[in-house]
Amino acid sequence: MFRIKEFAAAFAVIAATVCVSSAMQPPTAAVPPTTGTVTVTGRVTTQDGKPVPNARVYVPGSNEATQTDARGNYTLNGVPGGPQVVVVRAHNYVPVRTEAKFSTKPSDRARNHVNVTLLTPGEAASVSAQWAHDSAGLDRVGFFRRESTIRGAYFITPDQIAQQKPARLSDIFRGVPVLTQGVGRTGPVLRGAQGCLITYVDGLPWRSMFAGDLDTFVPVRDVVAAEVYGPGQTPPPPLVRGIPRLSCTTLAIWTRSDVG
């Protein structure tokens, strides 16, 4: 379950230790593999997307620290690969700790790019209060209970949506295997894995007027959470009406208009 205290703490710090084998090591001793280093890049911005210059960016447990340039960009060389945490501090902003798993594979370089958004103390308090309100609303509609008890469904939580930073509603569902995205006249069109998709918004059936109208009429900034049930899985109440259509995918979207 999403917990507001975890958001306020902004993640736990993970320390990584690299052990190097010695020629004098006894033959029976376990020798951990060495870990390569990577170059970490990213951008530090405010909540409204403005760059934050001169922010301190560092990875605890390594010797690397740097400051952002005038555009908020930073580069850290020689960072150990594997699980790490990027810490950003700047004057008048709340420090942020972001978990990452850096990869030494050239094909996985996207993992080594970490963008960070800084909030003022007032903004952080406002966001924390909003998330607490959203969490209470999701608990009231049974979202967290279903998330903890139902297996095989896909639950998109508030913190996952915040990490995604989606530009539109359909972006939230990229990577959900029982949903596909086609191309419509107005943009992406969500479809079920077998073509059939039943959609609920705030517990009520959604009647599409045209393909892709979810992106048009449901602003992504209002979406709090979502749940997806694939073909062959019967959704729980209130996400079923009449006889279940087991060949269909069921999509349920929760917004602040109902949750809040």
pTM of the shown model? 0.63
The amino acid at 117: T
Please compute, for residue 217, the number of CA atoms within 13 A of its CA located in the half-sphere on the CB side. Answer: 11
In angstroms, rounded to a whole number, what is the distance separating the alpha carbons of residues 92 and 94? 7
CATH match of 123-259 with 2.170.130.10: yes
Range 233-256 burial, b when 16+ CB lie within 10 A, else e: bebbeebeeeebeeebbbbbbbbb
Q: What percent of the chain has pLDDT over 70?
A: 86
Q: How confident is the model at residue 70 (pLDDT cuts 50, 70, 90)?
A: very high
Tokens representing 74? 């930073």
Q: Which residue has the tokens 């073909």?
A: 231
Q: Where are the domains of the chain?
A: 18-118, 123-259
CATH number of this structure's domain 18-118 = 2.60.40.1120
CA distances from 201 to 157, 198, 255 (A): 15, 10, 8
CA distances from 11 to 2, 116, 159 (A): 12, 13, 11
Dump pLDDT digits (tens) for 142-185: 999 999 999 999 999 998 998 888 999 999 998 899 999 888 77
In angstroms, rounded to a whole number, what is the distance separating the alpha carbons of residues 193 and 191? 7
In angstroms, rounded to a whole number, what is the distance separating the alpha carbons of residues 243 and 148? 25
Dump pLDDT digits (tens) for 29-60: 333 333 589 999 999 999 889 999 999 999 99
